[in-house]
Amino acid sequence: MFSLVNPKELPVENVQTSLWNNLHPEQVIGVPAIIKEIDCLTATVEELLQVRANFSSSITLENTRFSGFGGWFDVHFRGSRANPARQEIELTTAPSQDNGTHWGQQVFLVHPPLRVQEGDKMAVSISMNRSKENHRLMEVELTCEMKQSSGTQLRPFTKKFFIE
């Protein structure tokens, strides 16, 4: 899952790496979007070396700041076709008021933050690749186009991050 966030009190100067954080649901200011679904029973390593997705989101709070993107994952235990689970179990690492996990969320800060309004729309492209120099490092590139609810189109931007 990926969504828009406004993490309070996080440093933003010259950020090139994503930050681990436990976001509060009130810091999520956009509609979450699924960027990749993986079937762990059939996925290959090659399918996971590069993740690319385009998604859109909209701001859900009035008069706030867009400070970056938040990423997390959900796992659904459904069994297999041959042996389906009687009841699906979900493990979520989404922002939570009471049930945060040790995984937390990855936060990709955008500096300077942008003033946004409820209803502003974003079109986002994400590309995530394993680093050629360090196989434990992921390189993430986010490109964002924003159209404000007033009709104004903001200048698109691209940011690059690393996840360790």
Helices (H) and strands (E) in the chain — how many of each? 1, 10
In this predicted structure, the answer to whether residue 161 has a pLDDT above a threshold of 50 is: yes
Measured between alpha carbons, how far is residue 151 from residues 129, 137, 146 in Å? 34, 39, 10
The architecture of the domain spanning 2-163 is Distorted Sandwich (2.70)
Gap between the Cα atoms of 15 and 134, Å rounded: 19
Q: Is the pLDDT of residue 29 over 60?
A: yes
How far, in Å, CA of 128 to CA of 138, rounded? 7
- Domain residue ranges in the chain: 2-163
Q: For residues 25-32, give the mean pLDDT.
A: 93
- With 0-12 CB in 10 A as exposed, 13-18 as middle and 19+ as buried, what is 14? exposed
Quick one: which of 164, 66, 83 has its CA closest to 122? 66
What digits encode the pLDDT tens for the residues 137-153? 889 999 999 999 888 89
